[in-house]
């Protein structure tokens, strides 16, 4: 059966009717982690958890997925159960249960430890410390999330003007009550100009991960490219050579027009150079060697087998929110006819687009030999490399002959430790660490930074153990030994910051 | 240096002068006649893939004073063999930008035709020249071996990649050379890799090196054994044969095994491998004496 575009209580909806069986349904909101700032990274996730926290336990199987620019709520059960879930979630979003906030934050803090962001530092380099670049960062802002903030965010983004209802199964969802507040459709996260000089790479010797991301136009050919890459890399990097313990590729829709293809491999220590070389050759094969029809058929079959009906409906709902109107068959990527029409030349063209915008993190060797450009990484400094200088509109630090700067009006987040340390992250990804205990700073440096940075961008952290702090230089250590009491500056800072700290 | 016997030909290190078909090939290239070049290369490829690689190297080093060859290569870059040829010239004669362009072109060729030994051989050369880690050189050599299991010029380049300057060790190179010799059939020029490696390790000791350090009996006995196996059957590579005999002639000559050395010089006739021969220019006087004796002896037979 085909997808049906409809409305539920005046809200756009997509419905895949079936003649029987269980029902799946839910809501897709046009908000995700890429809409947050780094200082409140995790806020959407908290709201989503709270929306489900008030549901009676065990009544219906439900699930939450917070993605870059949309959030999916899903339930599986009978038509009545799913309908009730949708209505109850909407009602909860109007009045979030703040009493569950600390519990949910604890749960998410534990989850974030195990989360491995897709795209990693390549996304930081492509987008900075905002928008889609936030995938490179943990849910840093969980500690800052308070009841006021979650209500404000829910009121702003979890509204009837920013949602699409989705349904798969028998029954007519049109009559389901949706007690959501009015609002407005949220603009998509900002996308900066594409990087110049791609394909590009940077070497990250501290990691065994080999990562390549590329932004390509959304297409069935790009879906098959990712599938073919996934198969080829698993076979060539893991199975045949043992260069890697894991290797694969995936296709992620970014917005209405573009998708991100991510290649990720975990290199065996000692085989890192071979893995990099083999990856280049595998990418080249998809660019230059015709893919035979049997491989295309296998890839197409794998994509279609993996794509369930629910994924299909949710993707259609997502596309409505991304201002891309799905056809009757659904989104462009997993349309069976579109996949069947992809030929060898289409895959080669998609591989060419991948190559043209590729950004790679490699553990060794680099890719200059293959003609890739060396990427200019966002500068960082402030540890042993140099002493930060606080100016009227920015903090700067000299590092390796270059000057890194974070402008106060472009701070993505500032981590403020109770021991006086300040870690500033600029929107472009530049990081500067200000450590009064370890650097010979001006006496009022931290005070001036605190006065200049927007409080909404500040993430508070308790004082670190001595072992976690950078060691003081000799002259500072001598002065500290002479003074037994906290400095007046530190006392003033603590007094100012403590009221804003969330309750333990 | 004492005057040379006029009846003994001067050492000839130019393969295009030694082998007529390579001379013809180079003449066609200098004329910009790529059709004839490609045709002859195909004949050589059909005969032996290693000889094809050597022929491409001869063309890579060919002088092109009026740019005729360069222009012809540009005009026919839709032909995969022409692209390999252009890449070989970029690697051999070009600057760093040309070498990167050459490698990119070779990556493409290896993708289009993973079983192309010459393209993989040139990628090994590129890895050596770019000083890529030994692991990557080994990977490329694995791919070369999959395409042509007895590509001795490729193994020579691999051994260069495994040297200490690439992060390896002379012990590792010697192990690899010994292994290659042990596993090679009689007649294979792979037997000469042991001699080439000892010679390279000795030269790497710098100007203070002692000739006595080459004359370790156990080592030289190993080289003699390898030389015997090399001579035990016809060499499968028409061109690799020159490098192998030169390695043995030079090393055994420097090590004081003059009779053995003379046998290899006699087999070579006028020919020598230019690279090996020039690497021992400080010892040419002594080696030329052996060579003259050998060639004069050969004429008497």
What ipTM goes with this model? 0.92
Cα–Cα distance measured from residue A29 to residue A343, given in angstroms and rounded to the nearest whole number: 35
Q: How many CB pairs under 8 A join A and B?
A: 57
Q: What is the mean pLDDT of chain A?
A: 87
Residue A241 has pLDDT above 90, yes or no: yes
Residue A482 has pLDDT above 90, yes or no: no
Chain A residues with beta carbon closer than 8 angstroms to that of B143: 281
- By the 10 Å C-beta count (0-12 exposed, 13-18 middle, 19+ buried), A334 is classed as buried
Band (pLDDT 50/70/90 cuts) for residue A106 is confident
pLDDT of residue A487: 39
Cα–Cα distance measured from residue A178 to residue A180, given in angstroms and rounded to the nearest whole number: 6
Q: For A200-314+325-374, CATH number?
A: 3.30.830.10
pLDDT digits (tens, 9 = 90+) for A85-99: 999 999 999 999 988
pLDDT of residue B218: 83
Q: Which two tokens stand for residue B232?
A: 């035990």
Percent of chain A whose pLDDT exceeds 90: 65
Residue A377 has pLDDT above 60, yes or no: yes
Looking at residue B191, the DSSP 8-state letter turns out to be: G
Subunit contact B135:A289, Cβ cutoff 8 A: no
Band (pLDDT 50/70/90 cuts) for residue A489 is very low
Residue range(s) of every CATH 3.30.830.10 domain in chain A: 4-118+128-175, 200-314+325-374
Which of A137, A125, A195, A117 has its CA nearest to residue A428? A125
- By the 10 Å C-beta count (0-12 exposed, 13-18 middle, 19+ buried), A1 is classed as exposed
Subunit contact B100:A369, Cβ cutoff 8 A: yes
Q: How many Cβ atoms from other residues are within 10 Å of residue A31's Cβ?
A: 28
Subunit contact B136:A370, Cβ cutoff 8 A: no
pLDDT of residue B284: 93
Q: Contact at 8 Å (CB) between B249 and B261?
A: yes
Q: At what angle do helices B49-60 and B117-129 cross, to 10 degrees?
A: 50
Higher pLDDT, A475 or B160: B160
Tens-digit pLDDT string for chain B (301 aa)? 455 566 788 999 999 999 999 999 999 999 999 999 999 999 999 999 999 999 999 999 999 988 999 999 999 999 999 999 999 999 998 889 999 999 999 999 999 999 999 999 999 999 999 999 999 999 999 999 999 998 999 999 999 999 998 788 999 999 999 999 999 999 999 999 999 999 999 999 988 888 888 888 888 999 999 999 999 999 999 899 999 999 999 999 999 999 999 999 999 999 999 999 999 999 999 999 999 988 887 666 6
Cα–Cα distance measured from residue B170 to residue A216, given in angstroms and rounded to the nearest whole number: 47
Chain A residues with beta carbon closer than 8 angstroms to that of B132: 273, 277, 365, 369
Q: CATH number for the A4-118+128-175 domain, one of 3.30.1330.80, 3.30.830.10, 2.40.10.220, 3.40.1280.10?
A: 3.30.830.10
CA distance A289 to chain B (A): 5
pLDDT of residue B274: 95
Q: At A435, is the secondary structure helix, strand, or coil?
A: coil
pLDDT of residue A162: 96
Point out the residue among A272, A274, A281 whose CB comes nearest to the CB of B110. Answer: A281
Cα–Cα distance measured from residue A146 to residue A98, given in angstroms and rounded to the nearest whole number: 8
Subunit contact A288:B112, Cβ cutoff 8 A: yes
Subunit contact B135:A273, Cβ cutoff 8 A: yes
Chain B residues with beta carbon closer than 8 angstroms to that of A274: 135-136, 138-139
| Mean pLDDT, range A147-169, rounded to an integer | 94
Point out the residue among B101, B108, B132 whose CB comes nearest to the CB of A273. Answer: B132
Point out the residue among A277, A288, A371 whose CB comes nearest to the CB of B136. Answer: A277
Q: Which residues on chain A place their C-beta less than 8 Å from a C-beta of chain B? A: 241, 270-274, 276-278, 280-281, 284-285, 287-289, 364-365, 368-371
pLDDT digits (tens, 9 = 90+) for A394-430: 999 887 777 889 999 999 999 999 999 999 999 999 9
Subunit contact B136:A281, Cβ cutoff 8 A: no
Q: At A64, is the secondary structure helix, strand, or coil?
A: strand
Which of A424, A420, A429 has its CA nearest to residue A454? A424
Which of B147, B83, B74 has its CA nearest to residue B109? B83
Cα–Cα distance measured from residue A50 to residue A73, given in angstroms and rounded to the nearest whole number: 12
| Mean pLDDT, range A458-476, rounded to an integer | 81
Looking at residue A49, the DSSP 8-state letter turns out to be: H
Chain B residues with beta carbon closer than 8 angstroms to that of A280: 107
Subunit contact B135:A270, Cβ cutoff 8 A: yes
| Mean pLDDT, range A115-136, rounded to an integer | 82
Q: For strand A359-362 and strand A71-77, is the pairing parallel, antiparallel, or unpaired?
A: unpaired
Cα–Cα distance measured from residue B76 to residue A166, given in angstroms and rounded to the nearest whole number: 57
Chain A residues with beta carbon closer than 8 angstroms to that of B140: 277
Q: What is the mean pLDDT of chain B?
A: 93
pLDDT digits (tens, 9 = 90+) for A278-332: 999 999 999 999 999 999 999 999 999 888 889 989 999 999 999 765 555 556 6
Q: Residue B106: closest CA among chain A residues belongs to which residue?
A: A370
Band (pLDDT 50/70/90 cuts) for residue A60 is confident
In chain B, where the domains are located:
1-150, 169-301
Angle at A40 between CA A38 and CA A44, to 5 degrees: 110
pLDDT of residue A379: 59
Subunit contact A273:B136, Cβ cutoff 8 A: yes
Rg (CA), chain B: 19
Q: For strand A23-29 and strand A411-417, is the pairing parallel, antiparallel, or unpaired?
A: unpaired
Which of A70, A191, A69 has its CA nearest to residue A123? A191
Q: Residue B134: closest CA among chain A residues belongs to which residue?
A: A273
| Mean pLDDT, range A323-349, rounded to an integer | 79
Cα–Cα distance measured from residue B38 to residue B40, given in angstroms and rounded to the nearest whole number: 5
Residue A474 has pLDDT above 70, yes or no: no
Cα–Cα distance measured from residue B39 to residue B37, given in angstroms and rounded to the nearest whole number: 5
Subunit contact B111:A368, Cβ cutoff 8 A: no
Q: At A232, is the secondary structure helix, strand, or coil?
A: helix
Point out the residue among A274, A289, A369 whose CB comes nearest to the CB of B130. Answer: A369
Point out the residue among B104, B111, B112 whose CB comes nearest to the CB of A371. Answer: B104
Looking at residue A54, the DSSP 8-state letter turns out to be: T
Residue A26 has pLDDT above 60, yes or no: yes
Q: Residue A290: closest CA among chain B residues belongs to which residue?
A: B112
Q: Residue B104: closest CA among chain A residues belongs to which residue?
A: A370
Residue A25 has pLDDT above 90, yes or no: yes
Chain B residues with beta carbon closer than 8 angstroms to that of A371: 100-101, 103-104
| Mean pLDDT, range A66-78, rounded to an integer | 95
pLDDT digits (tens, 9 = 90+) for A242-285: 999 999 999 999 998 899 999 999 999 999 999 999 999 999 99
Question: Listing from the earlier edge strand, what are the strands of the sheet with A380-381?
Answer: A380-381, A431-434, A422-426, A411-417, A458-461
Chain B residues with beta carbon closer than 8 angstroms to that of A369: 100, 103, 126-127, 130, 132
pLDDT of residue A332: 66
pLDDT of residue A369: 96
Q: How many Cβ atoms from other residues are within 10 Å of residue B119's Cβ?
A: 29
Chosen for mutation from A205, A270, A273 (greatest number of chain B CBs closer than 10 Å) is A273
């Amino acid at each position: 059966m085909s997808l049906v575009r409809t409305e539920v209580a005046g809200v756009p909806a997509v419905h895949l009717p079936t003649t029987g069986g269980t029902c799946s349904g839910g809501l897709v909101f046009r908000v995700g982690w890429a809409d947050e700032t780094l200082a409140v990274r995790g806020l959407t996730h908290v709201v989503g958890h709270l929306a489900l926290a008030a549901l009676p336990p065990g009544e219906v199987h439900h699930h939450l997925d917070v993605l870059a620019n949309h959030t999916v709520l899903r339930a599986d059960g009978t038509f009545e159960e799913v309908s009730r879930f949708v209505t109850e979630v909407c009602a909860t979003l109007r009045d979030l249960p703040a009493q569950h906030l600390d519990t949910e934050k604890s749960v998410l803090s534990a989850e974030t430890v195990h989360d491995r962001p897709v795209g990693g530092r390549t996304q930081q380099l492509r987008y900075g410390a905002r928008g889609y670049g936030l995938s490179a960062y943990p849910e840093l802002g969980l500690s800052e999330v308070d009841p006021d903030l979650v209500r404000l965010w829910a009121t702003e983004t979890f509204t009837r003007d920013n949602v699409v209802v989705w349904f798969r199964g028998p029954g007519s969802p049109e009559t389901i009550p949706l007690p959501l507040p009015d609002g407005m459709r949220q603009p998509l996260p900002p996308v900066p100009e594409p990087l110049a000089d791609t394909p590009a790479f940077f070497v990250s010797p501290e990691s065994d991960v080999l990562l390549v991301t590329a932004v390509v136009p959304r297409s069935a050919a790009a879906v098959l490219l990712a599938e073919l890459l996934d198969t080829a890399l698993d076979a060539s990097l893991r199975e045949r050579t043992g260069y890697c313990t894991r290797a694969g590729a995936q296709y992620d829709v970014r917005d209405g027009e573009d998708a991100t293809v991510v290649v990720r491999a975990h290199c065996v220590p000692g085989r890192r150079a071979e893995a990099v070389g083999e990856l280049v050759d595998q990418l080249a094969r998809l660019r230059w060697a015709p893919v035979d029809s049997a491989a295309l058929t296998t890839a197409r079959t794998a994509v279609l087998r993996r794509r369930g009906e629910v994924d299909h409906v949710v993707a259609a709902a997502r596309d409505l929110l991304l201002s891309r109107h799905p056809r009757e068959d659904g989104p462009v990527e997993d349309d069976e006819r579109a996949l069947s029409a992809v030929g060898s030349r289409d895959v080669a063209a998609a591989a060419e687009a991948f190559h043209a915008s590729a950004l790679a993190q490699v553990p060794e060797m680099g890719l200059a030999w293959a003609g890739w450009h060396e990427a200019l990484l966002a500068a960082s400094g402030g540890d042993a490399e140099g002493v930060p200088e606080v100016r009227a509109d920015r903090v700067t630090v000299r590092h390796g002959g270059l000057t890194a700067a974070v402008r106060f009006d472009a701070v993505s987040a500032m981590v403020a430790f109770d021991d006086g340390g300040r870690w500033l992250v600029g929107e472009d990804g530049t990081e500067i660490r200000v450590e009064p205990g370890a650097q010979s700073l001006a006496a009022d440096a931290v005070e001036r930074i605190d006065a200049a940075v927007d409080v909404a961008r500040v993430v508070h952290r308790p004082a670190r153990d001595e072992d976690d702090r950078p060691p003081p230089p000799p002259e500072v250590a001598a002065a500290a030994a002479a003074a037994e009491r906290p400095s007046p500056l530190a006392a003033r800072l603590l007094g100012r910051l403590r009221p804003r700290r969330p309750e333990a | 240096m004492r005057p040379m016997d006029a009846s003994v030909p001067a050492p000839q290190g130019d393969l295009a002068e030694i082998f007529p078909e390579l001379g013809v090939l180079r003449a066609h290239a200098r004329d910009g006649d790529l059709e004839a070049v490609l045709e002859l290369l195909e004949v050589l490829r059909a005969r032996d893939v290693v000889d094809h690689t050597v022929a491409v190297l001869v063309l890579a080093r060919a002088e092109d004073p009026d740019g005729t060859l360069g222009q012809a290569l540009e005009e026919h870059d839709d032909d995969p063999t022409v692209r390999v040829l252009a890449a070989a010239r970029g690697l051999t004669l070009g600057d760093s930008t040309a070498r990167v362009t050459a490698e990119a072109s070779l990556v493409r060729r290896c993708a289009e035709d993973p079983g192309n030994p010459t393209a993989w051989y040139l990628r090994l050369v590129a890895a050596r020249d770019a000083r890529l880690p030994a692991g990557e050189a080994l990977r490329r050599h694995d791919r070369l071996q999959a395409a042509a299991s007895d590509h001795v010029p490729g193994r020579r380049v691999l051994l260069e990649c495994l040297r200490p300057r690439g992060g390896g060790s002379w012990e590792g190179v010697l192990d690899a050379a010994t292994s290659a010799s042990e596993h090679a059939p009689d007649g294979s020029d792979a037997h000469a890799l042991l001699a080439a490696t000892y010679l390279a390790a000795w030269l790497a000791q710098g100007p203070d090196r002692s000739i006595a350090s080459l004359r370790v009996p156990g080592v030289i006995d190993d080289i003699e054994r390898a030389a015997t196996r090399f001579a035990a059957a016809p060499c499968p590579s028409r061109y690799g044969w020159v490098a192998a005999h030169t390695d043995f002639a030079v090393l055994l000559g420097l090590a004081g095994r003059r009779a053995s050395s003379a046998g290899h010089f006699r087999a070579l006739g006028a020919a020598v491998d230019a690279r090996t021969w020039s690497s021992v220019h400080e010892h040419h006087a002594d080696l030329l004496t052996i060579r003259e004796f050998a060639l004069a002896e050969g004429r008497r037979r």
